[in-house]
Amino acid sequence: MRVGFDYLPAVQHPPGIGRWMRELVRALVQLDERPDIALFEVGGGPRPMDGAPLGLDGAVVRRVRGRWPRRLVGGLGRLGLGVDTLLGGVDVFQRALPGYPPVRRAPEVLPLAELPPEGAPADAALGAAARRGDVLVFCAHYAREVARRYELDPQRVHQVPVGCDHWTRELGDARPLRAPRVLVLGALRDERRPLRALEGFEAFRAGGGSGELLFVGRPASARGSFESALARSPVRADVTWTQDAAERDMPALVASSSVLLHLAQDEGSPVTPLEAYALGLEVVAEGLPAFHEALEGAFTPLPRAPSARAVADALAAAFAGVPDDARSAARRACAARFPWSRAARETSAVWARVHARHSRV
């Protein structure tokens, strides 16, 4: 079996879909039994993760690389061509993004870790992309929701695990000293409630709590409102926003924090809390189904759309458990169930089932 990958996000984007694709392929090439791998990495823009971070040195893979602009690649479909053809033919094509690049013949598999509001224009477009092939999801809740929302045969919606051992691998035996720091990871999007995180930290400090607040993520839809709120915040001297943290610095930065605060309107993957678990952090997060499924009750759950007071109280409870070797060990044990090797094996099994089904047609 030969599997093609839309690999450009892996070399361009440190977090998110880029990390998922990069770590998945990195784990695949280390399996004794694995499919043949063909990587499509064509497009403009910088490639900050190329080279050693990919973990492909010495691996036998086919890499089709180039600097063609996206519009030119997207136009292949109008010429009756697809990336599966450019890769020399593949049995399954693993997408990173819906609808791009064009695929002509190979069955497609699309990962879905987030869903737009139901009924929105983006929802209709995503549904059309999902119905072209099979779908990967990362929690049982999304398996049900995606099948219902897009009227898919449940057998075409496959739940697979995420991996979370990338930063422990990079950190090795080093264990940075923890600071009394609340860490917020991810782009400053309205859906991730950065203003509420700031307001909760303000209430936590006003109630006698101590420590600092660190946001790590690129600017996004909440940038303007967040910057305005931070400029007048009574705790602004203890709040830092790092927009461009180097990937090589992330393991030590996370490991030296005390609490991960993760607010999200909706997420279908538990990867961010699990990354913190792997390094022993306390986790305060909204009680999303994906988190309850994976985190084994070792985090401090918040109600949906929590108030600033609720966030402050949860932070106080989390800091009361720092340090707690038993709780930290429980979180690390939970994270140990999610190595990238497991994600690679189970995802490869999905591709095999997809290929077998299409071979019978």
Entry field: residues in the chain: 361
Question: Which is nearest to 187 in space by CA: 214, 216, 217, 223?
Answer: 217
Domain boundaries, position 204: 166-335
Same structural domain, 191 and 111 = no
Same structural domain, 324 and 238 = yes
Angle at 138 between CA 136 and CA 141, to 5 degrees: 105
Same structural domain, 18 and 150 = yes
Question: What is the DSSP-derived secondary structure letter of residue 323?
Answer: S
What is residue 242's predicted lDDT score, i.e. its pLDDT? 96
Give CB contacts under 8 A, 24+ apart, made by 266-269. Answer: 266/114, 266/115, 266/191, 267/113, 267/114, 267/291, 268/112, 268/113, 268/114, 268/115, 268/137, 268/138, 268/139, 268/141, 268/142, 269/113, 269/114, 269/138, 269/139, 269/162
Same structural domain, 144 and 180 = no
Same structural domain, 19 and 33 = yes
What is residue 163's predicted lDDT score, i.e. its pLDDT? 98
In this predicted model, what pLDDT tens digit does every residue of 188-209 receive, in sequence order?
999 999 999 999 999 999 999 9
Q: Are 189 and 218 a contacting pair, CB within 8 Å? A: no
d(CA 172, CA 190) in angstroms, rounded, equals 35
Question: What is the DSSP-derived secondary structure letter of residue 219?
Answer: B
Question: What is the DSSP-derived secondary structure letter of residue 221?
Answer: T
Same structural domain, 173 and 276 = yes
Question: Quick one: what percent of the chain has pLDDT higher than 90?
Answer: 85
What is residue 79's predicted lDDT score, i.e. its pLDDT? 76
What is residue 312's predicted lDDT score, i.e. its pLDDT? 98
Which helix (H) or strand (E) segment holds residue 262: the answer is strand 259-262
Same structural domain, 198 and 319 = yes
Beta bridge partners of 4: 38, 93
d(CA 158, CA 130) in angstroms, rounded, equals 12
Same structural domain, 119 and 188 = no
What is residue 80's predicted lDDT score, i.e. its pLDDT? 74
Which helix (H) or strand (E) segment holds residue 65: the answer is strand 62-66
Same structural domain, 195 and 324 = yes
pLDDT band of residue 23 (cuts 50, 70, 90) is very high
Which helix (H) or strand (E) segment holds residue 261: the answer is strand 259-262
pTM, two decimals, is: 0.95
Same structural domain, 220 and 329 = yes
Which helix (H) or strand (E) segment holds residue 239: the answer is strand 239-242
Cβ-based burial of 248 (10 A; exposed 0-12, middle 13-18, buried ≥19): exposed
- CATH number of the domain enclosing 234: 3.40.50.2000
Torsion, Cα of 142, 143, 146, 149 (10° steps): -100
Domains of the chain: total: 2
Same structural domain, 158 and 195 = no
pLDDT band of residue 309 (cuts 50, 70, 90) is very high
What is residue 361's predicted lDDT score, i.e. its pLDDT? 62
Q: What is the number of helices (H) and of strands (E) in the chain? A: 15, 13
In this predicted model, what pLDDT tens digit does every residue of 136-164 receive, in sequence order?
999 999 999 999 999 999 999 999 999 99
Q: Is the dihedral of CA 22, 129, 158, 193 positive or negative?
A: positive
The predicted model gives 210-219 an average pLDDT of: 96
Same structural domain, 154 and 176 = no
In this predicted model, what pLDDT tens digit does every residue of 39-59 receive, in sequence order?
999 998 999 999 999 999 989
What is residue 322's predicted lDDT score, i.e. its pLDDT? 72
Q: Is the pLDDT of residue 284 over 70?
A: yes
Q: Is the pLDDT of residue 10 over 90?
A: yes
Q: Residue 100: phi, psi to the nearest 5?
A: -145, 135
| Average pLDDT value over all residues in the chain | 94
Angle at 163 between CA 191 and CA 16, to 5 degrees: 35
d(CA 348, CA 322) in angstroms, rounded, equals 39
In this predicted model, what pLDDT tens digit does every residue of 219-248 receive, in sequence order?
999 999 999 999 999 999 999 999 988 999
Question: Quick one: what percent of the chain has pLDDT higher than 70?
Answer: 99
What SS3 class is residue 284? strand
What is residue 42's predicted lDDT score, i.e. its pLDDT? 93
Q: Is the pLDDT of residue 88 over 90?
A: yes
Q: Are 279 and 295 a contacting pair, CB within 8 Å? A: no
Q: Is the pLDDT of residue 323 over 80?
A: no
